[in-house]
Amino acid sequence: MEEVLSWPHLGTAVGLSAAVMVLTQILKHYIPKASPKWIALALALVITVTDQLVLGDHRPETFILSVLNAIISAGTAIGAYEAFVDPLTGKGEGGGEGGGGDG
């Protein structure tokens, strides 16, 4: 029986999320009017779909899985940034005092 989640799969998901997080932080300075969350989603979509095109797998179900993977990776990158980096900088919704800021 095949493994459901192996180290190469985990590395790919973490690598994609890390790349999206870093590239979003770079690009948000060049596109100041765009929301970083939309930038992260766009980057994740571009990376995952390009990956499928380069690998030569052009089946429709593969592209659907790429879009789902992009959404999950973008969400992971956004959540990781808000959980670990925002509280340290004192910026963000919670003002650096415990995160969410909803009381």
Q: Which pLDDT does position 49 carry in this prediction?
A: 84
How does residue 8 score in pLDDT terms, banded at 50, 70 and 90?
A: low
Model pTM greater than 0.75?
Answer: no
Domain boundaries, the chain: 35-89
C-beta pairs of 15-21 under 8 Å, 24+ apart in sequence: 16/44, 16/47, 16/48, 16/69, 16/73, 17/73, 17/76, 17/77, 17/80, 18/77, 19/43, 19/47, 20/44, 20/47, 20/73, 20/74, 20/77, 21/77, 21/78, 21/80, 21/81
- 33-37, 54-58, 97-101: least confident range: 97-101
Q: State both tokens at 54.
A: 């380069």
Distance CA 103, CA 51 (A): 42
